[in-house]
């Protein structure tokens, strides 16, 4: 049973050692999404895309495959020239619920969080708030959490292997509760 992951370069695994290029099968198996999935993993993510494309790529892939679960790491809404990405999030949430796919959402930055009651926030994993004076005091996205905790970052700014490894460990409990138990 395959797990599908959506997102941008973070989920593609840009700058991770096992991600040689941006072409077919160039994605990493060491991102937190891939580590949670284990052996059977399909990556719908692609570097530089916005949330509208994250939504479409997953929808397209689900027309030809039936995964056991879906994990999505939403990116910055400004990539679509939007102040929020609620319509894409709600659209995918409705689709996944309608088709009974277990899923977990997370994000790279908490600027995507709104007070929209139509979004099922119980199915989101947010990284713990920072403790330091220069850290984000509210639940964080993966990128904020990795940078503020001073994990190694690649030359182009992507958090490297250790951040993904520790992130997978943090998300595991929620992932098991929402996705794995349904498999």
Q: Which residues bind another protein (CB under 8 A)?
A: 8-9, 48, 75-79, 81-83, 109, 111, 143, 156-158
Q: How many CB atoms lie within 10 A of CB 149?
A: 17
* Identity of the residue, 57 or 158, whose beta carbon is nearer to another protein in the bound complex: 158
| Residue of 26, 28, 7 whose CA lies nearest to 16 | 28
Per-residue burial over 67-78, b = 16 or more CB atoms within 10 Å of its CB, e = otherwise: bbbbbbbbbbbe
Nearer CB in complex with another protein: 8/161: 8
Work out how close the CB of 82 gets to another protein at its nearest, in angstroms, rounded to a whole number. 8
The distance of closest approach from Cβ of residue 109 to another protein in the complex, given in angstroms and rounded to an integer, is 6
Q: Is the dihedral of CA 3, 129, 14, 114 positive or negative?
A: positive
Smallest distance, another protein to C-beta of residue 76, A:
4
Q: 79 or 172: whose CB is closer to another protein?
A: 79
DSSP 8-state secondary structure symbol assigned to residue 157? S
Measured from the CB atom, is 79 or 174 closer to another protein? 79
CB of 176 to another protein, least distance (A): 30
Q: Which is nearer to another protein, 22 or 157 (CB)?
A: 157
Distance CA(16)–CA(43), nearest Å, equals 15
The nearest distance, CB 179 to another protein, in angstroms, is 27
CA distance linking residue 57 with residue 75, whole number of Å = 14
């Amino acid at each position: 049973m395959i797990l599908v992951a959506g997102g941008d370069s973070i989920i593609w695994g840009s700058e991770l050692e096992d991600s040689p290029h941006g072409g077919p099968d160039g994605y990493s198996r060491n991102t937190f999404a891939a580590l949670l999935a284990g052996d059977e993993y399909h990556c719908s993510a692609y570097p530089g895309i916005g949330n509208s494309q994250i939504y479409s790529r997953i929808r397209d892939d689900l027309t030809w495959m039936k995964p056991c679960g879906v994990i999505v790491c939403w990116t910055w809404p400004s990539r679509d020239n939007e102040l929020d990405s609620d319509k894409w999030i709600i659209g995918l949430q409705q689709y996944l619920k309608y088709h009974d796919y277990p899923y977990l959402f997370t994000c790279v930055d908490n600027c995507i969080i709104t007070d929209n009651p139509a979004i099922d926030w119980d199915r989101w994993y947010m990284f713990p708030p920072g403790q330091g004076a220069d850290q984000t005091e509210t639940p964080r996205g993966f990128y904020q959490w990795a940078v503020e905790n001073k994990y190694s970052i690649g030359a182009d700014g992507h958090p490297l292997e250790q951040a993904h490894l520790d992130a997978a460990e943090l998300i595991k409990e929620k992932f098991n509760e929402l996705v794995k138990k349904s498999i």
